[in-house]
Structure 1
Amino acid sequence: MVTARLCALLLLAVSFATGGAARAEDGYRLWLRHAPVADAAQQTPGSVTLSGSDSPTALLARDELTRALSELYPHGAAGGGTPILLRRVTDPAMRDGAFRIAPAERGVAIIAASDTGLLYGAFALLRELGQGKAIGAIRLDEAPAYTLRMLNHWDNPDGHVERGYAGRSIFDWWHLPGYVDARMTDYARANASIGINGVVINNVNARAMMLEPRYIAKVKALADTFRPWGIRVYVSARFSAPRDIGGLKTADPLDPAVRAWWKAKADEIYTAIPDFGGFLVKANSEGQPGPQDYGRSHADGANMLAEAIGERGTVIWRAFVYAAENKEDRAKQAFTEFQPLDGKFAKNVVVQVKNGPIDFQPREPFHPLFGAMPRTQLAMELQITKEYLGFASHLAFLGPLFEEALGADTGRGGSVAETVTVIAGVANTGSDRNWTGSHFDQANWYAFGRLAWNPKLPSDQIAREWAAQTFSRDTAFLNAVVPMMMSSRAAVVDYMTPLGLAHVMGTGHHYGPAPWVSDLARPEWNPVYYHRADRAGIGFDRTPTGSNALAQYAPDVAKRLLADEELLLWFRHVSWDHRLKNGNTLWEELPRRYDRGVAAVARMGATWATLAPHVDTQRHRAVADFLRVQADEAQWWRDASLAYWSAVSGRALPAGHAAPRHPLSWYQAQRFPEAPGE
């Protein structure tokens, strides 16, 4: 029986599919546009039948198919078309979320042993049809690679989003729980379509008030909305909450009163939200409170929370730690603190590790903790919002970055993807009508979900899927736009941080180049800490003659990383006259890389201009405008960086490379108090 609440949810889902018909091409519908198939294949889908379940989730799967098929094939199918059977079965061999799509006696069947499997199967079928494939040719047998595939929102209760470049937060905390915006259902539907099943709804720099009863009621309203879409809600918890809002004098994880407070708080939350996912915690990092404040370890803190939650949920403990008083190379600190704790975390604790050892740089080596903690559950944390890759205004498809990180060989038991149990991504959604600030940034949300489901998917396949569903399935369009997407991240690396440079962005807001900054309170906040450029050369020595961060990797991996010229300046301080494999000196190669990046952006703009016949005017113009912004800012990055390197090295630019448009002092004088996301 369909409840009144489910009817409301279904109506809200319809609002996504039909919402703002007058603005149908403003990007709101993401990759779920279901543009009509112009030349329908001989086998066209027909009616949808559901059997084996009448749960809210199963009904959403049925209605999602029915509605989407009416959009893909608005004129129906001759003779009624090929029936689609949604069938919930009992099959212990099928994991939660797994599904099969195969021919059936009277049509095509989507078979699953769970209701979420039916939902994922429905979206998978639509994804194939949305690329123009004939229903009779579709054969899929899939299961998610990871049990938990989650987004981390850095959203604050006041609506500001830290490192958010798509407007204000999508979570309207002020009006919750009485009013739940329809956008919440649209958001959950989009996540379900790419297999995301967990959402941390507040910033890791958490406020204790998120655990107060009035906020638990707000979280419950979101959990109730997300639940039919197979999504569990998580909350970032402030470690000092027992002291901040609990009336205790301490937050010591070994104090019995503190442990009792957290147990009572967990019970309170689970009473309101029985399927509450658990806590995400940032502790003893960037000024956040944590167990080390009391002489305890990260394991002591995490295990205290794990005990409070019990088997009901998960504690996700971030390994992003570094301290001003710690003189050790920042790239080494997380490994130094966490690796000795391997095997000491409770079974319902997951240690969440950023993909690289610094902080979401355009290019980094994989984090050495991957593979080095075999007795601990690890999560890989990726950043979907592009804090260091040009915000939402630069086109940088992150599929290759994600694929590169997941596929890296740890030398300790397989690839990174094979050594983690959870995939997490820092969300890039916001209140902008197109959700992500720019249309192509939607592709990074999509790519994250697809790779969290299957880390072996090739990035170019993901790009093609997304582009076909989002813009056009025309072969000429796809053959032009997919290579453009696939080369875009490499272009950003070239004009921002070539050859292993890192963290040379502006202070605080991280907008634009500022390799000259050297006056910040903490050494590791200064770009000069990372590049160490001087008259003799440039780069951070992480070999045995320097910080020896290289030793944190398996020996064979360390050799490979040291030989990789794309990471040259990450691991070595070399002379400006250092000779590269292509025969160029470093000083000859640096401007070549910067110029290559600038030229690549120009080519993207030219390519996009030719694709106007394939894309609606509104979105084509928006992308073209952003590509012009990117071209200007790529030139700025190139000029400011080379002006500084030239001044530090005392060398003129090599012949054939244009001088910067302004003197170095002009670039150093630029200020951006209005930069978003700080």
Structure 2
Amino acid sequence: MLLLLAALLLPRPAAAEDGYDLWLRYRPIPDADAEAYRPRLAQLVAPAATPTQRATRDELVRGLGGLLGAQPPMSDAAKVEGALIVGTPASSKQIAGLKLATKDLGREGYRIRTVEFDGRDAIAIAANTDAGAMHGAFHLLRLLQTGQPIDALDIREVPRTQLRMLNHWDNLDRHVERGYAGESIWDWHKLPDYLGPRYADYARANASIGINATVLNNVNASAQQLTPMYIEKAAALANVFRPYGIRVFLSARFSAPVEIGGLKTADPLDPQVRAWWKAKADEIYKAIPDFGGFLVKANSEGQPGPQDYGRTHADGANMMADAVKPHGGIVIWRAFVYSHETPDDRAKQAYNEFVPLDGKFRDNVMVQVKNGAIDFQPREPFHPLFGAMPKTPLMMEFQITKEYLGFATHLAYLGPLFEETLRADTHARGKGSTVAKVVDGELHGYRLTGMAGVANIGSDRNWSGSHFDQANWYVFGRLAWNPELSSRDIAEEWTRMTFSNDGDIVQPVVAMMMGSREAVVDYMTPLGLHHLMGRGHHYGPGPWVEGGPRADWTSVYYHRATKDGIGFDRTTRGSDAVSQYAKPVAAQFDDAGRTPEEFLLWFHHLPWDYTTRSGRTLWDELVVHYSRGVDKVRDMRRTWNALEGRIDPERHAQIATFLAIQEKEAQWWRDASIAYFQTFSQRPLPDGYAPPAHPLDYYESLEFPFAPGNG
């Protein structure tokens, strides 16, 4: 008995967690904080007449019950004491009676205010719609989860972009292209009859960070997705998502009229083709009344498109836009394109094809543009299309899944990457014309605005393959809602919700996160190098990759290393890609001395003895960066290991193992890259820097035919 009593009195380690709850863990907060919150949360006054209202009330009951240790009683009384009052002026007489200003909140905005109600303190969440009230409820729960005071709240939030979307590159066989977290979460075989709880939890997680749209299938689409069987399955998912304010979109294969429609052509100007798409849109909207529309990848990487018939991207997009417009739908046309012939510089392709079409798209068409002109590299300068198409709404496309940043095992918090792009100045209308102002419509007055993220979600229990990769889903949603937010602030918010509010945990974890992406850039693609990954699967270093069907699918096309130097000359003396930017930006990028050093070799081919800003030669600076990246990962490992016992054992152990993998692979990247480029530089390593562990032919011999996520 004494031994049992002693065991019960010993401090208990943090409970094991598997990551399924994401940032919505709702674990009990310290008693002192709970006591400070309870007086204003003694009752919950929230309507429950609609599915969204019920979902909001259920989330608040779940969240408050978990955080405060007891669920607040619910009431619909006119007089309340210490209440949380939620709703719209139309759904709640209490909200109506408070007369809070809501006219400027739009469809999804909300206000959270500490108010006096019948002589008692209360908190009101007011909105114009049920969806807005739900967003406000999640915001309040976030305040409680992160330990913020609620005694004098006066918050007004309106999303800066209209469409905040996840793009799932999921196939009907459940394989996820560029997915590193297991199979697709959409179990198409069991749909529409079986709807597992994971679908609702997916919707909850997205709603909590403001995501309001999802594309269910891969942009390399199968026409089967548009057959009646699969439309019915998509409708079942839409029914689950609808209460959470999330609309379903589908990627459409341009050649579907031929493949499943029995037509002999998919020419967008052919009347039969246009009629087929109109009938298909009518069929989808009958099953999914709030269907968002189509996402289309056309004439890129072998996908069919309007250019197959001598038509333009505008011709193709407009045909499909006409089909969905009667239903309020839109078409999102991807700008990731390049011609059948290898160009002088693939970075110029999208600009060359789309800028001449500015103003020729229907008003329900958006052009979706990747953050950079190549392909989701660890670092790219902002895409020159941003600021160059004032008459066509441009939608940002980020990649949340880390195809080029170490898959699921490398810690690479993408907030700084997203923030770097959004804050870049296009100078399209003078200084301060940031990419964020293009995307949110402020710069050009776009009628449609949006941001898309290629999802990193799969069937793994922790959703994203690793616990830290959850933060990339989270930061995407928060920045899509407001592109001006700080990625550091978001990292702290996520850390507090995911791990702990203890400052001794928060500070080192946030420091790890904020330095992680730069570490990856250093050991993979320093100083503006890019596209150096293994062929096809993009796993591991492959700066030697050459040959194959297209030069611009190889590494040597991009780094252009010779005995004389390294880098891609995109200046006015080279491919002239710099001239696609506004004049002040072009002038900066055209001059090696003014180009930010992180983009140096993106825009310039320079000799190995070029003097960098540190005073070191270019060769020595590359070696320093490669080595620094490995050192940063070692530092992250030490930081994380020091938190053992402060984080629950299950999550701590998996992250520790992944960091060990990352250090090993960072060293591989460093050594393989230095061994290869040294064959051109013919220079020794700077003093104090160790040579690669193996000769170059060892690294070149490594093969990974079953690397995950390959298309």
Q: Secondary structure of 1:286's match? A: coil
The alpha-carbon deviation at position 76 of structure 1 amounts to 7.0
Residues 49-128 of structure 1 aligned to structure 2 (within 5 Å): 49-50=44-45, 54-74=49-69, 82-89=82-89, 91-106=102-117, 107-128=122-143
**Cα gap change, 1:81/1:629 in structure 2, threshold over 3 Å: closer, same or farther?**
farther
The alpha-carbon deviation at position 614 of structure 1 amounts to 2.2
The alpha-carbon deviation at position 24 of structure 1 amounts to 6.2
Q: Which digits, 9 at most, give the CA deviation of each residue in 1:282-311, with x for residues without a partner?
A: 000000000000000000000000000014
The alpha-carbon deviation at position 53 of structure 1 amounts to 6.6
Equivalence for 1:375: 391
Q: Does 1:675 align with 2:707?
A: yes
Hey, what's the Cα distance between the residues in 2 that align with 1:615 and 1:24? Answer: 9
Equivalence for 1:599: 631
The alpha-carbon deviation at position 500 of structure 1 amounts to 0.1
Q: Does 1:34 align with 2:26?
A: yes
Equivalence for 1:434: 462
Hey, what's the Cα distance between the residues in 2 that align with 1:305 and 1:519? Answer: 37
2:104 aligned partner, one-letter code: A
Equivalence for 1:566: 598
Q: Secondary structure of 1:29's match? A: coil
Q: Secondary structure of 1:380's match? A: strand
Equivalence for 1:197: 212
Equivalence for 2:697: 665
Q: Kindly indicate whether the alpha-carbon contact (under 8 Å) linking 1:429 and 1:435 is maintained by their aligned counterparts in 2.
A: yes
Equivalence for 1:150: 165
TM-score, scaled to structure 1: 0.95
Hey, what's the Cα distance between the residues in 2 that align with 1:279 and 1:75? Answer: 45
Hey, what's the Cα distance between the residues in 1 that align with 2:596 and 2:241? Answer: 44
Equivalence for 1:405: 421
Q: Does 1:267 align with 2:282?
A: yes
Two-structure CA RMSD over aligned residues (Å):
1.6
Q: Does 1:466 align with 2:511?
A: no
Equivalence for 1:164: 179
Hey, what's the Cα distance between the residues in 2 that align with 1:169 and 1:138? Answer: 41
Hey, what's the Cα distance between the residues in 2 that align with 1:535 and 1:82? Answer: 75
1:435 aligned partner, one-letter code: W
Q: Kindly indicate whether the alpha-carbon contact (under 8 Å) linking 2:105 and 2:157 is maintained by their aligned counterparts in 1.
A: no
1:544 aligned partner, one-letter code: T
The alpha-carbon deviation at position 168 of structure 1 amounts to 0.4
1:603 aligned partner, one-letter code: D
Q: Secondary structure of 2:609's match? A: coil
Residues 135-534 of structure 1 aligned to structure 2 (within 5 Å): 135-311=150-326, 312-413=328-429, 414-420=433-439, 421-534=449-562
Hey, what's the Cα distance between the residues in 2 that align with 1:581 and 1:326? Answer: 35
Q: Which digits, 9 at most, give the CA deviation of each residue in 1:398-452, with x for residues without a partner?
A: 0000011111111113211111221000000000000000000000000000000
**Cα gap change, 1:177/1:112 in structure 2, threshold over 3 Å: closer, same or farther?**
same
Q: Kindly indicate whether the alpha-carbon contact (under 8 Å) linking 1:242 and 1:248 is maintained by their aligned counterparts in 2.
A: yes
Q: Kindly indicate whether the alpha-carbon contact (under 8 Å) linking 2:551 and 2:557 is maintained by their aligned counterparts in 1.
A: yes
2:175 aligned partner, one-letter code: H
Picking from 36, 40, 44, the partner of 2:37 is: 44
The alpha-carbon deviation at position 75 of structure 1 amounts to 5.3
Unpaired runs of 5+ residues, structure 2, are 1-13, 74-79, 91-101, 440-448
Hey, what's the Cα distance between the residues in 2 that align with 1:309 and 1:57? Answer: 26
Q: Secondary structure of 2:485's match? A: coil
**Cα gap change, 1:561/1:472 in structure 2, threshold over 3 Å: closer, same or farther?**
farther
Hey, what's the Cα distance between the residues in 2 that align with 1:425 and 1:48? Answer: 38
User: Which of 537-546 and 128-137 deviates more?
Assistant: 128-137
Equivalence for 1:9: none
Hey, what's the Cα distance between the residues in 2 that align with 1:82 and 1:141? Answer: 22
Q: Secondary structure of 2:138's match? A: helix
Equivalence for 2:99: none
Q: Secondary structure of 2:104's match? A: coil
Hey, what's the Cα distance between the residues in 1 that align with 2:116 and 2:204? Answer: 30
Picking from 635, 639, 654, the partner of 2:667 is: 635
1:68 aligned partner, one-letter code: G
The alpha-carbon deviation at position 77 of structure 1 amounts to 8.7
User: Which of 576-585 and 637-646 deviates more?
Assistant: 576-585
Unpaired runs of 5+ residues, structure 1, are 1-21
The alpha-carbon deviation at position 651 of structure 1 amounts to 2.1
Q: Kindly indicate whether the alpha-carbon contact (under 8 Å) linking 1:238 and 1:289 is maintained by their aligned counterparts in 2.
A: yes
Hey, what's the Cα distance between the residues in 2 that align with 1:137 and 1:271? Answer: 47
Q: Secondary structure of 1:491's match? A: helix
Q: Which digits, 9 at most, give the CA deviation of each residue in 1:528-558, with x for residues without a partner?
A: 0000000000000000111000000001112
Q: Secondary structure of 2:83's match? A: strand
Aligned residues: 656
Q: Kindly indicate whether the alpha-carbon contact (under 8 Å) linking 1:53 and 1:88 is maintained by their aligned counterparts in 2.
A: no
**Cα gap change, 1:223/1:425 in structure 2, threshold over 3 Å: closer, same or farther?**
same
Hey, what's the Cα distance between the residues in 2 that align with 1:206 and 1:50? Answer: 46
Q: Kindly indicate whether the alpha-carbon contact (under 8 Å) linking 1:128 and 1:138 is maintained by their aligned counterparts in 2.
A: no
Picking from 625, 635, 641, the partner of 2:657 is: 625
Picking from 650, 655, 663, the partner of 2:682 is: 650
Q: Secondary structure of 2:578's match? A: helix
Q: Which digits, 9 at most, give the CA deviation of each residue in 1:62-117, with x for residues without a partner?
A: 12111111110115799x99421102126432211100111122300101111111
1:62 aligned partner, one-letter code: R
> Percent identity at matched positions?
61
Q: Kindly indicate whether the alpha-carbon contact (under 8 Å) linking 2:342 and 2:552 is maintained by their aligned counterparts in 1.
A: no
**Cα gap change, 1:37/1:77 in structure 2, threshold over 3 Å: closer, same or farther?**
farther
1:333 aligned partner, one-letter code: Q
Q: Kindly indicate whether the alpha-carbon contact (under 8 Å) linking 1:172 and 1:181 is maintained by their aligned counterparts in 2.
A: no
Q: Kindly indicate whether the alpha-carbon contact (under 8 Å) linking 1:153 and 1:426 is maintained by their aligned counterparts in 2.
A: yes
The alpha-carbon deviation at position 51 of structure 1 amounts to 5.1
The alpha-carbon deviation at position 521 of structure 1 amounts to 1.5
Q: Kindly indicate whether the alpha-carbon contact (under 8 Å) linking 1:366 and 1:408 is maintained by their aligned counterparts in 2.
A: yes
Q: Which digits, 9 at most, give the CA deviation of each residue in 1:473-512, with x for residues without a partner?
A: 1011111111110010000000000000000000010000
Q: Kindly indicate whether the alpha-carbon contact (under 8 Å) linking 2:159 and 2:481 is maintained by their aligned counterparts in 1.
A: yes
Hey, what's the Cα distance between the residues in 1 that align with 2:568 and 2:267? Answer: 38
TM-score, scaled to structure 2: 0.90
1:462 aligned partner, one-letter code: I
Hey, what's the Cα distance between the residues in 2 that align with 1:125 and 1:325? Answer: 54
Hey, what's the Cα distance between the residues in 2 that align with 1:299 and 1:272? Answer: 28
The alpha-carbon deviation at position 48 of structure 1 amounts to 4.5
Q: Which digits, 9 at most, give the CA deviation of each residue in 1:26-73, with x for residues without a partner?
A: 000000001211143353232443456722112211121111111101
Q: Kindly indicate whether the alpha-carbon contact (under 8 Å) linking 2:61 and 2:72 is maintained by their aligned counterparts in 1.
A: no
1:417 aligned partner, one-letter code: A
Q: Which digits, 9 at most, give the CA deviation of each residue in 1:181-214, with x for residues without a partner?
A: 2111110110000000000000000000111001
Hey, what's the Cα distance between the residues in 2 that align with 1:165 and 1:368? Answer: 30
Q: Kindly indicate whether the alpha-carbon contact (under 8 Å) linking 2:113 and 2:154 is maintained by their aligned counterparts in 1.
A: yes
Q: Kindly indicate whether the alpha-carbon contact (under 8 Å) linking 2:182 and 2:458 is maintained by their aligned counterparts in 1.
A: yes
Q: Kindly indicate whether the alpha-carbon contact (under 8 Å) linking 2:135 and 2:208 is maintained by their aligned counterparts in 1.
A: yes
Hey, what's the Cα distance between the residues in 1 that align with 2:516 and 2:16? Answer: 27
Hey, what's the Cα distance between the residues in 2 that align with 1:70 and 1:657? Answer: 56
Hey, what's the Cα distance between the residues in 1 that align with 2:206 and 2:367? Answer: 23
Equivalence for 2:5: none
The alpha-carbon deviation at position 648 of structure 1 amounts to 1.9
